[in-house]
Amino acid sequence: MMRILHFFNVLLLVNAHQPFMKFGMLEKPPMFMRKNSTVAGDNLYDGIWIDMIEWLSLHLNFKYEIIFVNNAVGRPQTLNGSGSWSGASGRLLRGDFDLLGPPVLMSFARNRVFHSVGVVEDEQSALLTPALTEMSSILSSIKPFQPMVWLLILISLLSAAICFAASSPSNDDRSFWYKRLMISRIGNYVFYTTAILTNQGSVFALPKFKSKLPFRLTAGVWCLFAFVMVNVYCSTLTSHITARKMSTPPAGSIEVMEEGILSYLVIDDSFGRELILGATSGPLKKLGDVFRRHPENFVPDQETGFRKVASGCCAFSDFVSYFNYRIGKDFQETGKCRVHMGKSIKGYGFNGLLIRKDNSYRDTINQGLLELYQTGLVDYWRKKQAGRGSPVCQSQSKKKSKVLRSLNLRQDLITAFFILGIGVSISFIVFLTEQYRRCKCKYR
């Protein structure tokens, strides 16, 4: 009985002296993210590091609190003549929490201020670009031609001919013969505009009226724009389908930079600025010059970078695990595959939790993480989280690159009506000018 009481006294004494640690966690799916749950008592967070911290607390016998950090990792900055750190790194220095995770990419600037705990080799990364199947904006590339546009051109041609014939000043009465002459003039106008459209010139007779120049100018402008639109669409049909739909996406960041088609984004932390802005030669020097001209290409976090790529303007490199998770989530939200992930490449950096240099639990956490990785549980948790990000977009992108999709009239032909609208607007202005001149001459 005395031994049992002594055991409980020791257990209570140990629990009374349990260390308490605060983990500041950045949202980096699938490592750590907030849940979309409002159930009372439910854990608000999810991810691989939730399971890892729970395992460490049981194995090393400590209590913990997870503090969600809604900041970027941070970088060195100068305020009032003294050096400091911004973002989550600054909060770690001020003692808001003991460790900062999930593992952050190590750099010279961070190693001068912090220790790294549980250093692991960097994960595989990939380049994320806008999907080739996405529709571009109205002022970008011209989309393929459809028979429906031919029909609309014919209808607009007949409408223009009827309008020109009805407003012709050659006859002012409303007799029976005038109506027969108007029908005849409609046919003449159709022949006239068709001849210009087919590059045959004015080979058909026109009704006699006071001035042929305004009508010739009006019909010529309209036919010119219609002719240009038809020829441009016919000539770009093959190039649009083959080059746009079946082209090979960029293989890496250097290729994106050299082509200059997309802006390349980098997360705004100390390592990115050190590596890019500090380069003095080679491709990184060229990339640094681009970022010095366009500092807006530095983004605060992964989510901002993904959203910009999905909008169709930029390219972005990050971990494959994050891209798999985020692409699957985006597909569930929008039902579309808006981005394309390139081939995975091996990284050359190292990651680790950040801890202040005066923290006495550095060696204990390092030893605990080493034992945790030896159990194989980390690989199991990685596979479990990776299964939540659906790879449907990857399989669809490979399938769609070989099968031509049916064209959509509203999306694919919006530029056609935009160009046609310009031609009609100019023609209408010239037509109004003709009517103004006719009325002015009539009342003289």
pLDDT at residue 47, as a whole number = 86
Q: How many CA atoms lie within 13 A of 227 on its CB side?
A: 14
Which DSSP letter does residue 30 get? T
Q: Distance of CA 438 to CAs 180, 408, 444, Å?
A: 23, 44, 10
Collapsing DSSP to helix, strand or coil, 243 comes out as helix
Residue 315 is assigned to a structural domain of this protein: yes
Q: Are residues 385 and 309 in the same domain?
A: yes
Q: Are residues 386 and 290 in the same domain?
A: yes
Q: Rounded CA gap, 211 and 81, in Å?
A: 79
Q: Is 189 exposed, middle or buried (0-12, 13-18, 19+ CB in 10 A)?
A: buried
Scanning the structure block, which residue is given the tokens 């030669």? 281
Residue 359 is assigned to a structural domain of this protein: no
Q: Are residues 294 and 381 in the same domain?
A: yes
CATH at residue 255: 3.40.190.10
Note whether 340 and 323 are within 8 A (CB): no
- Domain enclosing residue 208, as ranges: 147-244+413-442
Segments of the chain scoring below 70 in pLDDT? 1-17, 36-43, 71, 78-83, 121-122, 132-150, 152-153, 156-157, 160-255, 257-261, 270-272, 347-349, 386-392, 394-421, 423-424, 426-428, 430-431, 434, 438, 441-444
Residue 67 is assigned to a structural domain of this protein: yes
Residue 42 is assigned to a structural domain of this protein: yes
Query: What does the DSSP assignment read for 211-233?
Result: -SHHHHHHHHHHHHHHHHHHHHH
Q: Are residues 229 and 255 in the same domain?
A: no
Residue 55 is assigned to a structural domain of this protein: yes
Q: Rounded CA gap, 182 and 169, in Å?
A: 11
Q: Are residues 274 and 391 in the same domain?
A: yes
pLDDT at residue 140, as a whole number = 41
Q: Rounded CA gap, 340 and 315, in Å?
A: 10
Q: Are residues 113 and 21 in the same domain?
A: yes
Q: Rounded CA gap, 123 and 319, in Å?
A: 6
Residue 50 is assigned to a structural domain of this protein: yes
What are the beta bridge partners of residue 179? none
Note whether 193 and 185 are within 8 A (CB): no
pLDDT at residue 413, as a whole number = 57
As for how many domains the chain has, the answer is 3
Q: Are residues 269 and 320 in the same domain?
A: yes
Note whether 24 and 88 are within 8 A (CB): yes
Q: Are residues 43 and 112 in the same domain?
A: yes
Q: Are residues 286 and 227 in the same domain?
A: no
Collapsing DSSP to helix, strand or coil, 47 comes out as coil
Q: Are residues 425 and 391 in the same domain?
A: no
Phi-psi region of 62 (alpha: psi -120 to 50; beta: other; left: phi over 0): beta
- DSSP strand pairing (99-105 vs 350-356): antiparallel
Residue 2 is assigned to a structural domain of this protein: no
Q: What proportions of the chain, in percent to the nearest 5, are helix, strand and coil?
A: 55, 15, 30
300 CB contacts (<8 Å, ≥6 apart)? 72, 267, 268
pLDDT at residue 113, as a whole number = 85
What are the beta bridge partners of residue 353? 117
Q: Are residues 256 and 235 in the same domain?
A: no
Residue 112 is assigned to a structural domain of this protein: yes
